[in-house]
Structure 1
Amino acid sequence: MQVLVRDNNVEQALRALKRKMQREGIFREMRARTAYEKPSVKRAREKQEAVRRARKLAVKRAQREGLLPAPKKKTVTRSRSA
């Protein structure tokens, strides 16, 4: 994984790196690798993740077909400081 540092702005590059790592699931994988996971626990977790993905896909499909209302869009309110 690679992040470019522009104008010696290391903080911004670090935030971008963390965002990329989060998106790729590296933090989750590191946490999972810290301790041994029994095969039965691993199967149960993977099955649970598959169910969650299937549910999420079904909700999105139902929203696309008009069976469920679309999610509410978040409105960002910005306050102006003097």
Structure 2
Amino acid sequence: MAKKKGRSVPKAEVSDKPATLKDLLGADTIAKLKEQANELKKEEQERREAEQLKAEEARKAEQKRLDNDFEHLLSKSDLDWHKYK
């Protein structure tokens, strides 16, 4: 008995798959889109960093203001002076 070779898929069945957007677009267009996506990610990251820096500066300014506020310092201080004798 002769062994059967694996079934080969006819070419018509392989080409029946729907074309994807990547197949339809040219390589240069795909490269441009990837570059644009990378630029957008970079801009988003820079915006987040600037936002974090701004929030940190605001927090430091608020802390400095509170450190100069006698009422705040008095309310935060421990009133048990016996510990410090």
Same fold (TM over 0.5): no
Q: TM-score range by the shorter chain?
A: 0.3 to 0.5
What's the TM-score once normalised by structure 1's chain length? Answer: 0.39
Tell me which protein shows more helix as a share of its residues.
2
Bigger relative contact order, structure 1 or 2, given CA contacts below 8 A and separation 6+? 1
What's the TM-score once normalised by structure 2's chain length? Answer: 0.37
Computing the radius of gyration from Cα coordinates, the structure with the larger value is: 2
